Amino acid sequence: MDIPAVVIDRLPLYARVLESLEHEGQALVSSKELGKRLGVTPAQIRKDLSYFGRFGKQGRGYNVHHLSGELRNILGLDRPWRIALVGIGQLGRAILGYQGFSPQGFKIVLAFDSNPVIIGREIAGLKVRDVAQLERELERQPVDIGIVAVPEGNAQEVIDALVRSNVQSILNYAPMAAQAPPGVHIKRIDPVLALQSMTYYLKDTQVAPLAAS
């Protein structure tokens, strides 16, 4: 069976709410309550979960601890994942310093850049390697995920190199639609693109001319 990608995208949110409920000591939860917390219809939650199994009990709801574990297993969150980060500029350094990855099992194990000034330097405990050696290094030390934090103009070539190294999941911080062969999953994450689509809805309600400040 082929599960819609939108469903997969919602699962991490479900998993996170369930973890909260677990910490709050709640044993059972209904699709209605989960839906309220998530801003999603109860039917959608039941339908989404039904792709993977029958986790609930009629008349009762879902066992929070059990469902949480099932989702973590389905998503692979119960295992560690290795990441190569490409691009150690301002953004790359922020990503390297970000404390939110490792508690969730994501570990950046390789860092690459093209700037000779920082190649060889150690940043946040990781030696920066030459991106020209990316394929060679990934052969020696494979990773599961690539994070691309290079300028837009270089992102496609970096992604191509990652794909040649059999990296199948890529998080792309460059504001462009990257091309990749089928089987490779790319997610774009760009705050400017996100803002640029929201301004569409703001056009007629702009609060004040900037010059007035």
Partner DNA sequence: ATCTGTGAAGCACTTCACAGCG
Partner DNA sequence: CGCTGTGAAGTGCTTCACAGAT
Question: Least CB distance from residue 62 to DNA, whole Å?
Answer: 6
Count of C-beta atoms within a 10 Å radius of residue 32: 13
Q: Output phi, psi for 129, to 5 deg.
A: -105, 165
Size of the site for DNA (CB under 7 A): 25
H helices of 24-151, where? Answer: 31-38, 42-50, 64-75, 90-97, 134-140
Q: Please list every residue from 24 through 53 that binds DNA, using CB under 7 A.
A: 30-32, 40-44, 46-47, 49-50
124 binds, among a second copy, DNA, none (CB under 5 to 8 A by kind): none
Question: Least CB distance from residue 64 to DNA, whole Å?
Answer: 11
98-117 mask for a second copy (x: CB under 8 A)? Answer: xxxx--x-xx-x--------
Query: Binding of a second copy at residue 213 (CB under 8 A)?
Result: yes
Contacts of 11 (CB under 8 A, 6+ apart): 48, 71, 74, 75
Half-sphere exposure of 53 (CA within 13 A, CB side): 10
42 binds, among DNA, a second copy, none (CB under 5 to 8 A by kind): DNA
38-77 mask for a second copy (x: CB under 8 A)? Answer: xxx---------------------------------xxxx
Rounded CA-CA distance 73/50 in Å is: 15
Q: Is the CB of 57 or the CB of 115 nearer to a second copy?
A: 115
Rounded CA-CA distance 83/111 in Å is: 9
210 binds, among a second copy, DNA, none (CB under 5 to 8 A by kind): a second copy
Rounded CA-CA distance 159/6 in Å is: 23
C-alpha closest to that of 84 among 156, 166, 181, 5: 166
Tokens of 35: 């839906």
56 binds, among a second copy, DNA, none (CB under 5 to 8 A by kind): DNA
Q: Please list every residue from 60 through 119 that binds DNA, using CB under 7 A.
A: 60-62
What does the binding site for DNA look like in residue numbers (CB under 7 A)? 4-7, 30-32, 40-44, 46-47, 49-50, 54-62
